[in-house]
Structure 1
Amino acid sequence: MTNPIKNPAKLSSPSSSCSSSHFTPKTLFKFHQSPLQFPSNNKPPKPNPKFICSTKPSTNSSSSPNQNSNLLSILLAVPEWADRINERGTKKKRSLYNHEDWVLHTSSTRHVRHFLSSLSSRVILSLVPPVIVFTSVAVVVASYNSAVTMHWLPEFFPILRASSLPYQLTAPALALLLVFRTEASYSRFEEGKKAWTNVIAGTNDFARQVIASVESPNDSLLKKAILQYVMAFPVALKCHITYGSDIAQDLQNLLEVDDLAVVLSSRHRPRCIIEFISQSLQLLDLDAAKLNMLESKLCFFHEGIGVCEDLIGIPIPLSYTRLTSRFLVLWHFTLPIILWDDCHWIVVPATFISAASLFCIEEVGVLIEEPFPMLALDELCHKVQSNIKEVMRNEKLIQARLNTKRKSHHKKHSPNGWPASFEDRRPG
């Protein structure tokens, strides 16, 4: 059995711990690892806080993590900046084209205009991180090969070169992969556009059917409420499928305060508005045929919700997207080595042009894979509201005009010269 420590006070002496010039962290490690036996009370002496505080890390060990964190933050600054630009572009409101927009879109000067606006394009700005990385790799490869060629490095360092035959064989595969990826994304964009075309057409048709079917003066207030719900449905669906939408602000001028509170408390706002419409139809003074006809029109709303939710929740198979990305990355990492014998330092601009063009095609496919930020949904919703409000304003004017024509039917001929009744149109 080892002897107990004779003078434990020396261990805990502040003067000995703080004034010793030979203390190292290894000393503290030995203290913790040595099998020391304490006096008979079996209680280890309490550690001296001053002794523990005296083991300060060296300046060199503390500066390296800070330098690494600063370097990491600098490297991540460019991708974060590009992502913020991409996010702002996604939230940008689109507008429907008119005749002047189409004239500008098909102008012969569009190529110059598009080239001069390259620095403001979010597609191009979002490609800054990968293009910088691959161009930097080309610079490193070119510098290394130049140093080896000029014998600035030892002779056992080889020149990085390879045959271009593998690239000639795989280039068509990469082109087809990019084409199929972009075509699949555009088909999703087309499907989203068709879904919203059906939603807008179904909303206008349903509003027309309500205006034409509800004739009782007792149902005028309920009829107005149903039309408000119909106008609110596209807005709720737009907010349901687009990120960052403020549904409370968009619906505050369409729904009453109590109705809006119920919609906002619901987990699925578009279906909540459909329930408002369905229960309101049951309260109308309509026969069974008209009621069933109006209820059947609601299927267009449910179909629109289903298609939009499928497009948002189910992307293109991730293996397809990952394969395209990995193929492009491997291609451009090895491109400077392949082109060195033919291009030498021209591999730097060649890599830049190749990365900018091919990654741009892939970026466009990724952007239109989510179709709804690319559509003018706000303009479509406003257009539906203006159309329904115009029909509501013109309803009484049209009815008055038709009643006037009906009362003037007793006249033999109408003012435009045609016979007023069917009997007058018969020959002889």
Structure 2
Amino acid sequence: MSNQLNGHDPSTDGRPGDHQNGEQNGHPSSPSAASDSTATEKVTPAVHTRPTGLKQAGTMEDKRTVDLDDYFSGPLDPTKHSKLPYFMRLHGSILPSLIVPMVFIAGWATAITIIHEKYNKLAVDSLLLTVLGFVVGLSLSFRSSTAYERYAEGRKFWAQMTLHSRNLARIIWIHTNEREGEDGKDDLLGKLSAINLILGFCQAVKHKLRHEIEADYADLEPLIDHLDTFAKRVHSLDSSATEYNRILSNRSKFQTWGDKIGLPFCESNPQKSIKVARKQGKHHGNLPFEIMNYLSAYFEHCIQNTTLKSPCWQSQVSSSITAMVDAYGGCERVLGTPLPVAYNIAISQITWLYVLVLPFQLCAKLSWSAIPGTIVAAYIILGIAAIGREIENPFGRDVNDLDLDRYCTSLQLDLNVLTSSPPPEAGGWLKAPANAPLWPYSLCSYNSWKVRPEAQIRRALVERVDHQSVRVADLGDSAKRVEGNHGDV
């Protein structure tokens, strides 16, 4: 559906359909226009996504189907609710990625226990594991705390970016004036274009953090295709979108599922596209920063033509732009400064050493029960380490990563709602019949109170304080919807 909304035919080669290149997109349906439009292909991120579309309510298509590739990929959809208790859930669990390590640990514990019981005693003193256990606990605590700190920082930076994006769009839409006549049309279209750049900035940041360096993604190109950027300049030298996506996603089933069940040599390189571009001598630039330069130029244009002449709002614009760029820089800092590799190697070696030595202590006291005991202890220790490894980069596509797509979609909806109606005039909504200024003391409207003496209004305000216990239908349960009384009462 998203491809159709963007004016593209959802075909396998990613090229726009010929029937959608005409008047519907505001372009003349001439042969030359058709040939120009088909020269550009849309690059979509090289991940498996289930096609979506509008479905008729009440049909069998409304039933959700289980796709294992989607089930073990992310991020999690917060609108879906599972009724299973947490200890029985798999979606979002690190259990799938521990299948291979746990199989290895089970085989190792079994071998040690058999040798101990049948051939030669292999037990060690518990003092060794007591010392190792203290070190492992400190290591895992440090690993988990640093990983979650990065996760929380990433969410804070995106919240900051969203907050200031909304604020910047509000200033553009409400406080940037529209002149009379034809200039007013230019101002209106300019405001819409600038608001689109705000969304384009967030979309570009999302792709940048995921190491997707191109500019012709389906959710980004329509917003910035008119800008002159480094990513757009090298686009003519790039391979087609189909070939580009095929190279990035050219992985066998063994590699795909090996990555999900914990085989390290099956993990893909998230910076593969950057590596390929570097080998080809291409420089895609810093697209979010370039977009912000164009947005800053728009505000300079508004200041020059006096459509944004209030110093207060000019200062607010500067502050919001600075905060958005600062949030982007913070996200880059989180992405670009992971836990030093020496720590990762040392923590991994310490935890695995502890787990491998564990059967030597348990087999003496638990006999054959040492096998399940080792498996349980290994799952706890390796599971905590795996959680830290998964959330260390919160901007990826793991199940527990931040849902950047949802954040951008939510921002897009907010901006569309903002621009769906003209800037509100205060006189219109203040004098509306449903406006009850003294609610809940009185449901009388604005106009009803306006004809009364000011002394009466002041007295009513005092009485409203003394009548806080005025009963309003179902006020105790704010979740209930009621038939309200509107207008004068």
TM-score over 0.5 for the pair? yes
What residue number does 2:95 align with? 124
Query: 1 CA distance for matches of 2:190 and 2:332?
Result: 30
Q: Residue 340 of structure 1 contacts residue 347 of structure 1 at CA under 8 Å; is this kept in 2?
A: yes
Deviation at 1:352? 1.2
Contact 1:188 1:369 (C-alpha < 8 Å) held by counterparts: yes
2:173 to 189, 204, 211: 211
Structure 2 equivalent of residue 415 of structure 1: 447
Cα displacement (A) at 1:172: 3.1
Identical aligned residues as a percent: 19
User: Per-residue CA shift, 1:312-342, capped at 9, x if unaligned?
Assistant: 1101233332222111111121111122211
In the other structure, the counterpart of 2:107 is 136
Matching residue's letter, 1:174: V
Separation of aligned partners in 1, 2:117 and 2:429 = 92
Deviation at 1:263, TM superposition (A): 5.6
Question: Partner of 2:367 in structure 1?
Answer: 344
Match of 1:196 in 2: 158
**Of 271, 282, 294, the match for 2:289:** 271
Deviation at residue 162 of structure 1 after TM alignment: 1.1
Equivalence map 1:229-248=2 (5 Å): 229-243=197-211, 248=216
Match of 1:328 in 2: 351
Alpha-carbon distance, 1:192 to partner? 0.8
**Aligned-residue offset at 1:426:** 8.0
Contact in 1 for aligned 2:229/2:290 (Cα 8 Å):
no
Tell me, yes or no, if the aligned pair for 1:232 and 1:255 is still in contact at 8 Å.
Answer: yes
Matches within 5 A, 1:21-420: 92-96=74-78, 104=81, 110-111=85-86, 114-115=87-88, 117-118=89-90, 123-148=94-119, 158-217=120-179, 218=183, 219-243=187-211, 248-252=216-220, 254-255=222-223, 257-259=225-227, 264-265=232-233, 266-284=284-302, 285-286=305-306, 287=309, 289=311, 290-373=313-396, 374-396=401-423, 398-399=424-425, 402=428, 414-418=446-450
In structure 2, relative to structure 1, the CA distance for the partners of 1:174 and 1:246 (3 Å cut) is: same
Describe the superposition over 1:331-381 as per-residue Cα deviations: whole angstroms up to 9, x where unpaired.
121111122211222222111111112101110111111122311211111
Whichever residue aligns with residue 114 of structure 2, its letter is: S
Say if 1:417 and 1:333 are closer, same or farther in 2 by CA, change over 3 A.
same
CA distance in 2, matches of 1:169, 1:257: 61
What secondary structure sits across from 1:188 in the alignment? Answer: helix
Question: Take 2:429 and 2:138, find their aligned partners in 1: how far apart are those partners?
Answer: 65
Unaligned runs of 5+ in 2: 1-66, 234-283, 433-444, 460-489
**2:329 partner amino acid:** G
Q: Number of residue pairs matched? A: 316
TM-score normalised by the chain length of structure 2 = 0.57
Q: Distance in 1 between matches of 2:71 and 2:334?
A: 20
CA RMSD across the alignment: 3.4
State the one-letter code of the partner of 1:395: P
**8 Å Cα contact 1:195/1:308 also seen in 2:** yes
- Are 2:231 and 2:287, in contact at CA under 8 Å, matched by a contact in 1? yes
The structure with more helix, counted as a fraction of residues: 1
Tell me the alpha carbon deviations over residues 230-269 of structure 1, each in whole angstroms, 9 at most, x when there is no partner.
Answer: 1211111111112568752343575264338766445111
Do 1:86 and 1:126's aligned partners in 2 also have CA atoms closer than 8 Å? no
Q: What is the TM-score of this pair, normalised by structure 1?
A: 0.65
Cα offset, 1:197, TM superposition: 0.6
Letter in 1 for 2:351: L
Equivalent position of 1:24 in the other structure: none
CA 1:277–1:260: 2 relative to 1, 3 Å: same
Query: Aligned partner of 2:345: which letter?
Result: R
Secondary structure of 1:127's counterpart equals helix
1: CA distance, partners of 2:117 / 2:446: 95
- What amino acid maps onto 1:177 in structure 2? S
C-alpha offsets along residues 206-240 of structure 1, whole Å, 9 cap, x if unaligned? 11111122112322221121111012111111111
Name the CA shift for 1:426/1:173 in 2 (closer, same or farther; >3 Å).
closer
CA gap of 1:421–1:321, structure 2 versus 1, over 3 A, is farther
Letter in 2 for 1:282: E
Q: Which amino acid aligns with 1:230?
A: I
CA contact (8 A) 1:94 1:378 kept: no
Give the Cα separation in 2 of the matches to 1:179 and 1:392. 48
Contact (CA 8 Å) 1:94, 1:377: kept in 2 or not? Answer: no
Q: Is the 8 A contact 2:214 2:231 kept in 1?
A: no
SS in structure 2 opposite 1:315?
Answer: coil
